[in-house]
């Protein structure tokens, strides 16, 4: 997508702090963290939200989430984490590229629970 900030990050056109990358996804640190640990899982293919994905694409996303579960120690999430995906402006989706917030740390904070 031409004007998508996350597509530009994935292509390396905009700098980011990459935490993990493979052929299907990129995990970066959120520039405006809402928790002690706030990461974003970005599928490398552009979808506005999960409703645009085919079943096969959703299975790829599920594999990415399963892989995330094996990286909790490396990501500092061994005390627990929360996954959040917003769909649409009324649900506070601020970027029109499917992304999953990964929130964690010792203290998620009152507004996160």
Residues with active-site annotation: 99
Q: Is 78 helix (H, G, I), strand (E, B) or coil?
A: coil
3-state secondary structure of 41: strand
Nearest in space to 44 (alpha carbons), one of 74, 103, 1: 1
Dihedral over Cα of 16, 100, 38, 89: its sign: positive
Distance CA 84, CA 3 (A): 24
By the 10 Å C-beta count (0-12 exposed, 13-18 middle, 19+ buried), 10 is classed as buried
């Amino acid at each position: 997508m031409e004007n998508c900030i996350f597509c530009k990050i994935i292509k390396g056109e905009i700098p980011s702090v990459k935490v993990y990358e493979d052929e299907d996804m990129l995990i970066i640190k959120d520039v405006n963290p809402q928790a002690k640990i706030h990461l974003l899982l970005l599928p490398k293919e552009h979808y506005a939200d999960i409703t645009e994905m085919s079943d096969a694409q959703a299975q790829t996303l599920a594999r990415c989430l399963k892989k995330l579960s094996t990286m909790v120690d490396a990501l500092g999430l061994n005390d627990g984490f929360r996954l959040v995906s917003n769909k649409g402006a009324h649900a506070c989706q601020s970027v029109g590229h499917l992304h999953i917030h990964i929130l964690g740390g010792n203290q998620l904070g009152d507004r996160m629970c």
